[in-house]
Amino acid sequence: AQKITQTQPGMFVQEKEAVTLDCTYDTSDPSYGLFWYKQPSSGEMIFLIYQGSYDQQNATEGRYSLNFQKARKSANLVISASQLGDSAMYFCAMRFMNTGFQKLVFGTGTRLLVSP
């Protein structure tokens, strides 16, 4: 069964420092996609970054990068130069195919707090 595990309920970081949010996944499918979303207190789930299972290079989007280690089944999110506005819940998710449709399976999330 497909499963996403986020073991850090909360993380604290000072402004301008880098932070790594952990994510491990479990699947037997060779083709899958990995996503990170940010959810501020307003509730909207904001897409941050995507990594395909066949992608050779780690994905990067501005201050966000994804440390993809396929053999270890991990897909950690690295946020460089943290900003106060980065304080939010962060969810790792995996997309997999299931009889003709694709759904996202989410982890339980990590709450990031950025302090001045």
Determine the interface stretch with other proteins among 10-18, 60-68, 71-79, 99-107 (rule: CB under 8 A): 99-107
Residue 84 is given by DSSP the state G
Question: Which of 73, 96 has the CB closer to other proteins?
Answer: 96
110, containing H or E segment? strand 110-115
The phi, psi pair for 85, rounded to 5°, reads -70, -5
- Rule CB under 8 A: choose which of 47, 62, 70, 81 binds other proteins: 47
Asked whether the CA dihedral 66, 109, 33, 62 is positive or negative, the reply is negative
Which residue ranges make up the site for other proteins (CB under 8 A)? 4, 33, 35, 37, 42-47, 50, 52, 91, 93, 95, 98-109
